[in-house]
Structure 1
């Protein structure tokens, strides 16, 4: 009698907590106490089981590896790591904001093009009179006669009337 093997593949979201602290520490090549310290400093936020057990995700393990690379390879202290991670977060927020603004710009350009085309259609409809033909429709205003030239002021001091109460 031959035994058939079956293979089951389970896909887990990269942010789902699946590793207990000992496994996550081994995967990140760190001591479990280091993970606890990183959690206290806010560098990592593992999920918690209903009973309070820390559960680390694939993303958490990758973040732990990045922290280790920054401290070991780049010589950063934890304050430097915190600063780098905060800047990366701000950069990601800015990138998303720029993408949203670019999408809105495309929408506004499309709206503008539609409105411009509507105006062009109205102009082709013959409802408006081209400016060069308005001379025939609206008479030119008569030029006002020039006022007579003012007499030369008298020589000597000028008198200015003043009203008094």
Structure 2
């Protein structure tokens, strides 16, 4: 089991998120939180769904409209997806550069990734330098 395992029926999810079950049904219709469904079409909420419901409640109490909440949730999801994509690209780039003969040392900074010759230092103090010893 993890945070994406559908565990909770609507009454339990409503209690955990301090909301009325009818509110959860409305949010489902609006697409703010989309629980999984059983074969009998009963809603099953995950811990992640409950956390999202709590965030919706907090934003609503701060005066954010439902349309504003929808946009905030979209942006949060988009931001998480982009962060994951950046991490994957950084890993892929580092693996490719490290596996190229003669390009074992490079620096990554504001100018992007640059090759460093043996004994050469990056110009900016804030650069990240990676290297791998050759046998």
Calculate the TM-score normalised by the size of structure 2: 0.72
Are 1:70 and 2:54 an aligned pair?
Answer: no
After superposition, where does 1:62-141 map in structure 2 within 5 Å?
62-72=51-61, 74-112=62-100, 114-116=101-103
Which residue of the partner structure matches residue 37 of structure 1? 26
Which residue of the partner structure matches residue 48 of structure 1? 37
Which residue of the partner structure matches residue 128 of structure 2? none
Unaligned runs of 5+ in 2: 105-135
Aligned-partner Cα distance in 1 for 2:95–2:29: 45
CA RMSD, 1 decimal: 1.4
Q: Which structure carries more strand by proportion?
A: 2
Per-residue CA shift, 1:101-134, capped at 9, x if unaligned? 111221122123x2458xxxxxxxxxxxxxxxxx
Unaligned runs of 5+ in 1: 1-11, 118-165
SS across alignment from 2:12: helix
Which residue of the partner structure matches residue 2 of structure 2? 13
